[in-house]
Amino acid sequence: MYNSASDSASYIISVPPLGAAIESDSYRFSHEAGVYRAAKEMESRAVVLVPPSFLFQRSSSAIRELLIED
């Protein structure tokens, strides 16, 4: 999933790259970037494993909204 190709999929099961370097300055944490990418690539359902802190971080709120709305 984390290659240079950006395809979409009907079902995604993902563990974001915790602690990995990310290219975007938009996210403070690598798991935010991983969850955002999984949310954008899914077509119908996704299971994304995140650390518990993701649920309470203020910076993650927009990504959580994206998962709920889509």
Which residues, 6+ apart, have CB-to-CB distance to 23 below 8 Å? Answer: none
pLDDT at residue 9 above 70? no
12-29 per-position pLDDT tens digit: 566 666 555 666 656 666
Tens of pLDDT, residue by residue over 29-52, are 677 777 777 777 777 776 777 778
